[in-house]
């Protein structure tokens, strides 16, 4: 049901945790299943120097969160803003159809964190 990449990111999630002095935090939740994703950013000179996540949810939600942190790390905030949920799913070699609209929220959480950074660091 899940690809090897999904299983890998679920079993060994990258960048789990919190950044104490984060300057951007974003959270999204899925009302239908109750899963919650939170992304913490440390941005310097518009570059994402550090990114961590905390996700309360299913394996697919953890895998998409882990993947989005790997994709965002080292990017400028403008580059990270164009990362899509679709791109995250493709980087994981796909998600089961019933999980596409459920667990695939990690890019949204990242975008919320960037929005928070922009609002609080002007
Ligand atoms: Fe819905 Fe995991 S069951 S995001």
Reported as a single tens digit per residue, the pLDDT across 36-76 is 999 999 999 999 999 999 999 999 999 999 999 999 999 99
Q: Please tell me the predicted confidence (pLDDT) of residue 119.
A: 96
Cβ contact 54:68 at 8 Å? no
CA geometry: angle 32, 34, 40, nearest 5 deg = 125
Residue 27 is predicted with a pLDDT of: 97
Q: Give the DSSP letter of residue 16.
A: B
Q: Does residue 25 line the site of ligand 1, with CB under 6 A?
A: no
Confidence of residue 32 (pLDDT cuts 50, 70, 90): confident
Give the residue whose CA is nearest to atom 2 of ligand 1. Answer: 58
What pLDDT is stored for residue 106 in this prediction? 95
Determine if ligand 1 sits within 6 Å of the CB of residue 102: yes
Architecture of domain 4-120 in CATH?
A: Alpha-Beta Complex (3.90)
Q: What confidence tens digit (pLDDT) does each residue in 1-30 have? A: 899 999 999 999 999 999 999 999 999 998
Ligand 1 close to Cβ of residue 33 (< 6 A)? yes
Q: Please check the confidence at residue 122 and state whether its pLDDT lies above 80.
A: no
Q: Please list the active-site residues.
A: 33, 102
Q: Encode 2-35: b = buried (16+ Cβ within 10 Å), e = exposed.
A: beeebebbbeebbbeeebeebbbbbebebeeeeb
| Substitution candidate for ligand 1 out of 53, 61, 109 with most atoms within 8 A of CB | 61
Q: Tell whether the model's pLDDT for residue 84 goes beyond 80.
A: yes
Residue extents of the structural domains in the chain: 4-120
Give the residue whose CA is nearest to atom 4 of ligand 1.
Answer: 103
């Amino acid at each position: 049901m899940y690809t090897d990449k999904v299983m890998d990111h679920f079993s060994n999630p990258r960048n789990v945790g919190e950044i104490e002095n984060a300057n951007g935090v974003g959270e999204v939740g899925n009302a239908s299943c109750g899963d919650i994703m939170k992304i913490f950013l440390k941005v310097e000179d518009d570059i994402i120097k550090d990114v961590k996540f905390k996700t309360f949810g299913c394996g697919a939600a953890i895998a998409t969160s882990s993947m989005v942190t790997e994709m965002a790390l080292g990017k400028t905030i403008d580059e990270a803003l164009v990362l899509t949920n679709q791109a995250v799913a493709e980087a994981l070699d796909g998600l089961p159809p019933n999980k596409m609209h459920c667990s695939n929220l990690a890019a949204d959480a990242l975008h919320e964190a960037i929005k928070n950074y922009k609002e609080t660091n002007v």
